[in-house]
């Protein structure tokens, strides 16, 4: 009986790792596509690295995410995910503010931004 139970635990672990790998890869692809959509001058206006450098960073992260899809919890896979997460958490909001999308305009109260 322990062999069947042990096998199902490993199957569950493999499923969890697969879901994490898929989520990480989707995040990396989304970050790369989003970086493509912004104008190059918005990066400098937001005080961030250049568009070309972010595309290189996110392209490498996306390629790594594809290669380590079945084992995203390794050191390299985590670094690739962190690169995409930094872009999404720090650079993307700054780009949206610099280009007039999102930012203070989306939080308008009756007398202006709040």
pLDDT in tens, 29-46: 999 999 999 999 999 999
Q: What is the rounded distance in angstroms from the CA atom of residue 8 to the CA atom of residue 96?
A: 45
Q: Are 87 and 32 in contact (CB under 8 A)?
A: no
Q: What is the rounded distance in angstroms from the CA atom of residue 6 to the CA atom of residue 73?
A: 21
Those residues with Cβ within 8 angstroms of residue 10's Cβ, 6 or more apart along the chain or in another chain: none
Q: Are 38 and 44 in contact (CB under 8 A)?
A: no
pLDDT at position 10 is 85
pLDDT at position 8 is 85
Q: Are 96 and 103 in contact (CB under 8 A)?
A: yes
**Is the confidence at residue 111, as pLDDT, over 90?**
no
The most distant pair of C-alpha atoms in the chain lies apart, rounded to whole Å, by 68
Q: What is the rounded distance in angstroms from the CA atom of residue 25 to the CA atom of residue 68?
A: 9
Average pLDDT over the chain, rounded to an integer: 88
């Amino acid at each position: 009986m322990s062999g069947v139970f042990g096998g199902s635990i490993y199957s569950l672990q493999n499923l969890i790792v697969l879901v994490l790998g898929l989520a990480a890869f989707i995040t990396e692809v989304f970050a790369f596509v989003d970086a493509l959509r912004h104008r190059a001058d918005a990066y400098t206006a937001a005080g961030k690295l250049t568009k070309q450098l972010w595309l290189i960073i996110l392209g490498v992260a996306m390629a790594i995410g594809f290669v380590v899809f079945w084992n995203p919890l390794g050191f390299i896979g985590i670094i690739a995910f962190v690169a995409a997460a930094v872009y999404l958490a720090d650079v993307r909001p700054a780009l949206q503010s610099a280009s007039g999308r999102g930012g203070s305009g989306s939080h308008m109260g009756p007398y202006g931004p709040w």
